[in-house]
Structure 1
């Protein structure tokens, strides 16, 4: 932020205009009279407020939002006759780095509450502000973190492929962390890209990549356990439920040792999905002859289970559609109503969508 060594009437007026305040409102903000503000602006560079007033100006400027600070610097440059670019550097200033860091923290909190729109707005306003060439190492790191988080948001929203997708955001973050030579972050992005591969339906490729990352020394024990958990998820989607259960149980043990409560709970959810899928498979394999009612019930149960995990919710809805169509074909009105109730309950729980 441009430091004001001595405040004159010119800088005082620039601060008022940058804050978008009327003379009366600005005077109230400062705790001064309207007449004092009017005199500063009338006299311009020919007056210097008292030291205690100068300190008040310093405080107001520090408390301004980023937009107001930029407007203030531009106005001062115009009023003093200096070229705007002489006072406004191309890259972020110290206070902008601080604001950017704070917004990243706020975005992480918003994302944990599934407030994806707000989290995205906090991140995107920084990502588009400067080009890569205008950023130093600190700026590149913040841009990489922002891009990685945007990738998480888009992945959770199901936007996996394309120019404005999770994969594109992850790829940008991966390039930046590679440039900064931060192996741990690079490996984390490898893991995130593998998740996108799995969610895009390329299960064999995802399982292979997860297996590699589960033993990758660049990433933390927690992330290695996550990779192992996702190996189990990919195997479960391939119908290899027994293997998935064994791998998931091992991941649960690691999360418990590490004290990672949220990951531990997620792993138990994955374990429940795999165990339920295996039991449904056993029930199907032991069915005696065509049994539409049993088929509808098992398909409904399987779909209902899959809705409990955002990553498998789309597959769950597809199974419910199939079960409902079958129920309609055979006149099973009670089953139809049950399926419709399950779908309505899912739609009322946006955190799972």
Structure 2
């Protein structure tokens, strides 16, 4: 009986020809997507169907008529002499390596808040890439590019940026779900929750964080971040006492996980929550701990810690002048790096009735 030891896109495409089916009909016959069939035929031997799809193709070949099987065998024989020429050229692998290197540069650019160069690098790939033309490695890189593009827009933080970030994250989520990388999909859900919080939908964000704090697709560190961010959303919503309880749990987990930078961030969040309930002594203690423990190497981190510190100092008339100076410093840095969401937060603090 005719069989295929290892199906690639080439054999899958030749079977469609042997069955004399259109792409749409063939996709329905196998129970796969039209885009999947198109990808097989475009990439040939450089793509391999998933194991369960291999079995589906085995069954389709076994159930084909004798005539169709003969045509398939003939097509395989005709192609065997030219298969090397039909393979995608080796630069495709080189492109993957270059793409990976560019994404590593994007991560560095985002840490430095160099949004212009990051956008240029991302557009180099997103602007010329069609997902239907990519193998799984390419789809992975495409998904990562979408995520980083979403991060870029979220970090800038205007309402329009947040809408764009959500759209990019949603597309990336679809890609990682399709190529079956649940951890990446869950991380994107966490980023979507952050964008929801930044847009002011605090109850929805807290609910999403709660679900993700128990989601085993995520690492323990990511789950603990989700727990901390539950507290952040609650504090922004004025529920500071409950927020403090949640944040303390997160801080303890970060300590047990030996994540000093995350622990320092938790101290910063606790400081603001204690300010929210009017306990300035504890607020200053926590913010001093955060400032002395964290490295705060990126512009965004420095703006965030200075803004939090200023917010606490401004609350007390005795330290208001110092708070204004620290807030001006944070504002100048945020403006220099285009951190629009942080500038909005600083403006909100300045216009607060507490200080006017």
The TM-score bracket by the shorter chain reads: 0.5 to 0.7
Aligned to 2:328: 344
Q: 2:141 & 2:168 partners in 1: Cα distance?
A: 13
Counterpart Cα distance in 2 of 1:228 and 1:262: 16
Q: CA deviation at 1:280?
A: 6.1
Q: Is the 8 A contact 2:154 2:162 kept in 1?
A: no
Q: Relative to structure 1, is the Cα distance of residues 87 and 311 closer, same or farther in structure 2, using a 3 angstrom cutoff?
A: farther
Give the Cα separation in 1 of the matches to 2:180 and 2:333. 41
1:146 corresponding residue in structure 2: 145
Structure 1 residues 158-169: aligned runs within 5 Å: 158-161=157-160, 165-169=164-168
Q: Distance in 2 between the 1:109 and 1:255 partners?
A: 24
Provide the C-alpha distance between the structure 1 equivalents of 2:173 and 2:307, rounded to a whole number of angstroms. 28
Gaps of 5+ in 1: 1-85, 283-306, 328-334
Partner of 1:126: 125
User: Residue 215 of structure 1 aligns with which residue?
Assistant: 214
**Structure 1 contact 147–172 (Cα < 8 Å) conserved:** yes
> Partners in 2 of 1:207 and 1:91 — Cα distance?
47
Scaled by the length of structure 1, the TM-score of the pair is 0.57
1-structure distance, mates of 2:204, 2:306: 18
User: Which has the higher Rg, Structure 1 or Structure 2?
Assistant: 1
Q: 1:180 to 1:312 in 2, by over 3 A?
A: farther
Counterpart of 1:8?
none
1:154 deviates by 1.1
| CA distance in 2 between partners of 1:89 and 1:343 (Å) | 56
What displacement does 1:89 show? 6.1
Tell me the distance in 2 between the aligned counterparts of 1:160 and 1:125.
25
Question: What's the counterpart of residue 265 of structure 2?
Answer: 266
Match of 1:254 in 2: 253
Query: Residues 257-296 of structure 1 correspond to what in structure 2 (within 5 A)?
Result: 257-279=256-278
Q: Tell me the distance in 2 between the aligned counterparts of 1:146 and 1:214.
A: 25
2-side partners of 1:144 and 1:150: how far apart? 10
Distance in 2, matches of 1:87 and 1:340, equals 67
Higher relative contact order (CA 8 A, sep 6+): 2
Inter-CA distance 270–308: structure 2 relative to 1 (3 Å threshold): farther
* Distance in 1 (alpha carbons) for counterparts of 2:155 and 2:224: 20
Secondary structure, aligned partner of 1:188: helix
Deviation of the 1:90 alpha carbon: 9.8
Distance in 2 (CA, whole Å) between partners of 1:281 and 1:150 is: 39
Partners of 1:154 and 1:160 within 8 A in 2: no
In the TM superposition, what whole-angstrom CA distance separates every residue of 1:236-265 from its partner, at most 9, and x where no partner exists? 011111111111111112112222232222
Cα gap change, 1:95/1:175 in structure 2, threshold over 3 Å: closer, same or farther? same
CA distance in 2, matches of 1:105, 1:308: 22
Distance 2:133 2:192 in 1: 27
Task: Report how many residues are paired.
Answer: 231
Query: 1:81-111 CA distances to partner (integer Å, 9 max, x unpaired)?
Result: xxxxx99969971111101101111111221
Pairwise CA RMSD of aligned residues? 3.7
Q: Which residue of 2 aligns with 1:108?
A: 107
